[in-house]
Structure 1
């Protein structure tokens, strides 16, 4: 496991979340910028004057998080089945100027039973878990990690990947970071560490089937 003495900044400009359920129960939310947004912020997270959601700053070994303040149901109330949903967010990872090719450990989209993540640690734990509760089924956490460092203790495939985590930072599935191109219907590799201040668009679609 490697620890880099650097920090980085994560900025979000837009967020969309749409659970896909029966038409009469459709719910979702959209933030085109975060100025005045009703969000539950924690740690280093703050909303900048120009409406960006800044998750971290140059403070080392710290985390920032935000949660939508109202509960969303991810089970169909009539059938008890998990529902599908999609989420799109635009973000930038900005390393410290003196270490342009290094960064912290990443960003996580998380579904959790509460806004509290007790005992969660920074660094390789991504603000989700700690050495004691990582892998505990009672966490009831589903997350999609955008991971910018390889941690062999969690069997990371590389230092530039996207993974699906269920109660643990050892992903149940992961792929190298890439993006879809309409040029030939294929994928191209995407380097997360050198994106600088360029915004990236990420779309998640989790299906119940």
Structure 2
């Protein structure tokens, strides 16, 4: 009897631990004091903004929840349901940038990843390989023909590749207007993204909207896919981003995640405020402007001196010797 009770107790304990592992959840309304795994340019600002990259060119950055998460059922191997939502903002720019992505991967580190269009989690040799085990939702601000991007302002579902299995221009479905309303990822304004996977239905939904709009009932992307073949337990969830030739910044204001359930809604009033900074002219522009002005001034001065010299020479020729004394 004692042995049976002991076995039952141990099994109950293991089941409880497994249940806790499978039901991991966290909600961050800002990141002040939050323990996140940061690398490269990533940092948490004084007011709690998670800044993935700053204006440094050709760099990569990663931010991950520091603990591994079990994304599959230990007995069946099937991918579990999960849900996440986050509020982000991409610095206002006319020329776009590579963008950012929320990533589920086997590691928090991508040491050989490239910047620019590779989003900081792939390179030319490891892309599009079954061994990658990378699931990502990209917020792409730069059209890359190499990866069949539809435009320079879209949302895509990436599986072990940067050629999205499904993508759509950044927009949200307005229930009031009964149509999709276009959005700009690089407007500098906060936007909210929801990613939901239903394990029983093998359904992955991605929804985008401005933060002042309730979650649309119709997702932007809806894909029938079994993630079980891409999951290797345990895995990490976080963000990956990269910069290109032009300066741009990516921010995450809040993040909520839940295994086997719906992620808790973010409290928008508690999110940190974006710093409203005016775009200043780069020093290079000042250098070019002053160089043009300087060269123009020199040319005008030379022209005036030549004009005066010719006039003096002309008048000197009409003066006779006896007039010079006067």
Range of TM-score over shorter length: 0.7 to 0.9
Among candidates 54, 57, 77, match of residue 80 of structure 1: 77
Q: CA deviation at 1:86?
A: 1.3
Residue 91 of structure 1: aligned partner: 88
Residue 57 of structure 2: aligned partner: 60
Q: CA deviation at 1:24?
A: 9.2
Q: Does 1:183 align with 2:176?
A: yes
Change (3 A) 1:158 1:22: farther
Equivalent-residue separation in structure 2 for 1:116 and 1:24 (angstroms): 22
Change (3 A) 1:23 1:180: farther
Q: Does 1:162 align with 2:155?
A: yes
Residue 195 of structure 2: aligned partner: 204
Among candidates 45, 48, 52, match of residue 48 of structure 1: 45
Equivalent-residue separation in structure 2 for 1:107 and 1:179 (angstroms): 19
Change (3 A) 1:24 1:141: closer
Bigger-Rg structure (1/2): 2
Q: Is there any run of 5+ residues in structure 1 with no aligned partner, and where?
A: 1-20
Specify which structure has the higher proportion of helix.
2
Specify which structure has the higher proportion of strand.
1
Taking structure 2 as the reference length, what is the TM-score of the superposition?
0.54
Q: Does 1:109 align with 2:109?
A: no
Question: Secondary structure of the residue that 2:53 maps to in structure 1?
Answer: coil
Change (3 A) 1:25 1:113: closer
Residue 32 of structure 1: aligned partner: 29
- Per-residue CA deviations over 1:107-152 (Å, capped at 9, x if unaligned) read 1000000111131011000101011111121111111100011111
**Which of structure 1's runs of 4+ aligned residues deviate more than 3 A?**
21-25
Among candidates 119, 129, 139, match of residue 126 of structure 1: 119
Residue 17 of structure 1: aligned partner: none
Q: Is there any run of 5+ residues in structure 2 with no aligned partner, and where?
A: 1-17, 203-326
Kept in 1, the 8 Å contact 2:21–2:69? The answer is: no
Kept in 1, the 8 Å contact 2:84–2:196? The answer is: yes
Change (3 A) 1:23 1:50: closer
Question: Secondary structure of the residue that 2:111 maps to in structure 1?
Answer: coil
Bigger mean CA deviation after superposition, 102-111 or 176-185: 176-185
Equivalent-residue separation in structure 1 for 2:147 and 2:113 (angstroms): 16
Residue 66 of structure 2: aligned partner: 69
Residue 285 of structure 2: aligned partner: none
Larger RCO, structure (CA 8 Å, separation 6 or more): 2
Q: CA RMSD in A?
A: 1.8
Question: Secondary structure of the residue that 1:137 maps to in structure 2?
Answer: coil
Equivalent-residue separation in structure 1 for 2:127 and 2:153 (angstroms): 21
Residue 321 of structure 2: aligned partner: none
Kept in 1, the 8 Å contact 2:22–2:70? The answer is: no
